[in-house]
A and B are shown apart, each in its own frame.
Chain A
Amino acid sequence: MSIDISHISKRFGSFVALDDINLTIPSGQLTALLGPSGGGKSTLLRIIAGLENADAGAVTIEGTDATHLPAQKRNVGFVFQHYAAFKHMSVAKNVAFGLEIRKRPKAEVKQKVDELLSLVHLSQFADRLPAQLSGGQRQRMALARALAIEPNVLLLDEPFGALDAKVRKELREWLRRLHDEVHVTTVFVTHDQEEALEVADEIVVINEGRIEQVGTPDQLYDAPANDFVMGFLGPTTEIDGVLYRPHDIEVFTHPGIAGSIPARIVRELRVGFEVRLTVELLDAAHEQITVTVTRAHQRSLGLRPDLDVWLATTHGAVVPLMDPAQPATA
């Protein structure tokens, strides 16, 4: 049971939302479509769901060509960012909707609804209206509703985007645990890299309608394919046109290390356990870059503004794979 996306393209007027996308999403896995707003990830999700039609290409869901199937027939569960709760129906009726449409016997519907409501911990709200629930509760209801039809695939479009930070974190963990229990092929869209890194088995980074990289969270973080992926997944600092992680740059208070770059500390910013140093390179361009060190390290070296230092990248520093030139390491 996998999703096969083949040569999918979509434009809105002159705006190219998706450009020849090819992707296979393995079954039973929790996959994240990660990327900046407007990059095309929601469009791709909606095309998989049948809520949007591609201009070209094909979508195959567990072996069946779904490209021209209407959303109604794809048996795909969809969860919307703003819940799309049926406002005039109770929570239980919302969850029961898909089953009632399929004309299942009342007893079966009731049993399934009870099951799902206890799965999402909303049993005591069964007879309430969605308006009486919090945002997080509404989204759990939406999930239960989507799962009720026993979909082949579960799609979530920025499911926690409308919730505040604390609830978002809670629901993130909860989604991961739910997936571990239910094992439905799940694809969710997010622009929050922390969310993707925390929750997903595999991440697809999409930017400007193209796939930048596909991989596990570790692969993406430790072996980014290009500058964009590296920059999107974490902080970066640039030396000679190559991107590094700010903590992968060593600071020396004396010259003499082969290939080290002379520089001067301009500013320091202490945030939590890390210290962010703004350092000016003493080359022709006089660029200012960010270098991160721990507080202990800063203290032991006595780093402070106006100090002359020498910078070198650590051995095994992460750089984008696409970049051929790698300067000397310490």
Chain B
Amino acid sequence: MVRTSPLLRLVLRTVVVGYLVLLVAWPVSLVATHTFDDGFSALSKAFADPEVIHALKLTAVVALSSVAINLVFGVTISLLLVRYEFPGKRLLSALVDVPLSVSPVVVGLALLLVYNPRSGWLGPALADAGVQVIFSTPGMVLATTFVALPLVIREVVPVLEEIGDDQEWAARSLGASSFQTLRRITLPGVKWALVYGVVLALARSLGEYGAVKVVSGNVVGSTQTATLLVDQRYQNFDQPTAYAISFLLAVASVVCIVIVSVLRPKQEA
């Protein structure tokens, strides 16, 4: 057994805790203290600001839309990858991971090149049909969907593989159609994986910054999300609002993490 002496153990523990405190815990807690420097005035000032409200609403709309899209397509692709055989399956499986390794700025650029209404590949055609993508909400939904794409799939696929398809075959042998099997057996079986995937995707979507910045044009009061607002307010010396919104975003992140951490042990077969 690798038995660490009590001294070594204490040293390691101190180093680790110290590192985490200095790097993450303390800085994040500072945003809380600074937000409440003057009691609740920073928060109430922020909530009274129509631009802030607009940004928060826009963030919610974009995040929820993108999570919904990723949920539907994520489940579909997971089922296809695990339960079916088709040419190019391994390629698709590898490609699905790509968004995790792409810089958000590159994501924004990529979408810009295709969807911008002047010189994009598809942008002008869409603009003629009356659909504004870049500098508008649909573009921001696209960008947010892109960056969070793998999250649902990476949660659902291993669970689908682990539970195997016996239950699904049993359901079929008892007379269930494909749809009935999906609804009554498969989806309930991956219930928790879906929850984790959604929560992770939500956290990612709420927090997206770089890609949305490129794609939205960052027009205040129109295409400005919460993260873009933080950036703009801080740089314009409106620190209190910047801290207040950062605090809200940090709380949202913590809540998402805690939900997933608390729920995970429940995922017993």
Contacts and interface: CB of A to CB of B under 8 A. Distances in A.
Interface of A: 49-51, 70-78, 80, 82-88, 97-98, 101-102, 131, 142, 145-146, 148-149
B173 interface: yes
Contacts of B166: 80, 82-84
B13 interface: no
Query: Which residue among A80, A85, A86, A146 has the maximum number of chain B CB atoms within 10 Å of its CB?
Result: A86
Contacts of A74: 173
Contact of A98 (B175, B189, B268): B175
A98 B167 CA distance: 13
Nearest to A50: B173
A76 B185 contact: no
Contacts of B269: 87, 131
A86 B170 contact: yes
Interface string B236-269: 0000000000000000000000000000000011
Q: Which 9 A-B pairs have the closest CB atoms?
A: A98-B174, A84-B166, A84-B170, A78-B173, A71-B172, A88-B188, A101-B175, A101-B176, A72-B172
B19 interface: no
Given A86-B185, A87-B189, A72 B177 contact: yes
Query: Which residue among A51, A102, A146, A148 has the maximum number of chain B CB atoms within 10 Å of its CB?
Result: A51
Contact of B174 (A50, A51, A82, A149): A149
A87 B167 contact: yes
Contact of B173 (A77, A82, A86, A131): A77
Query: Which residue among A78, A80, A84, A102 has the maximum number of chain B CB atoms within 10 Å of its CB?
Result: A84
Given A78-B170, A80-B166, A131-B269, A88 B176 contact: no
B83 interface: no
Contacts of A145: 170, 174
Contacts of B268: 131
A75 B176 CA distance: 11
A85 B172 CA distance: 13
Contacts of A142: 170
A101 B189 contact: no
B169 interface: yes
A75 B185 contact: no
B170 A80 contact: yes
A85 B169 CA distance: 11
Interface string B131-170: 0000000000000000000000000000000010011011
Contacts of A86: 167, 170-171, 184-185
Given A72-B173, A101-B175, 14 more contacts: A72-B175, A72-B177, A77-B173, A78-B169, A78-B173, A82-B166, A84-B166, A86-B167, A86-B185, A87-B269, A97-B176, A101-B171, A101-B176, A142-B170
B177 A71 contact: no
B191 interface: yes
A84 B188 CA distance: 14
Interface in B29-65: none
22 contacts: A70-B172, A71-B169, A71-B172, A72-B176, A73-B175, A74-B173, A75-B175, A78-B169, A78-B170, A82-B166, A84-B169, A86-B167, A86-B170, A86-B185, A87-B163, A87-B167, A97-B176, A98-B175, A101-B171, A101-B176, A102-B175, A145-B170
B189 A88 contact: yes
A73 B173 CA distance: 8
A328 B152 CA distance: 75
A76 B174 CA distance: 8
Contacts of A83: 166
Contacts of A149: 174-175
Contacts of A50: 173
Nearest to B163: A87
A80 B170 CA distance: 8
B180 interface: yes
Nearest to B174: A98
A187 B249 CA distance: 61
Query: Which residue among B167, B173, B188, B189 has the maximum number of chain A CB atoms within 10 Å of its CB?
Result: B173
Contacts of B176: 72, 97, 101
B173 A71 contact: yes
A146 B188 contact: no
B179 to A, nearest CB: 11
A313 B188 CA distance: 64
Contacts of B163: 87
A325 B135 CA distance: 92
A184 to B, nearest CB: 14
A72 B170 CA distance: 10
A146 B169 contact: no
Contacts of A87: 163, 167, 189, 269
Nearest to A83: B166
A73 B188 CA distance: 24
Nearest to B175: A101
A84 B167 contact: yes
Query: Which residue among A72, A76, A102 has the maximum number of chain B CB atoms within 10 Å of its CB?
Result: A72
A22 B238 CA distance: 84
A145 B166 CA distance: 14
A97 B171 contact: yes
Contact of A101 (B167, B180, B188, B191): B180
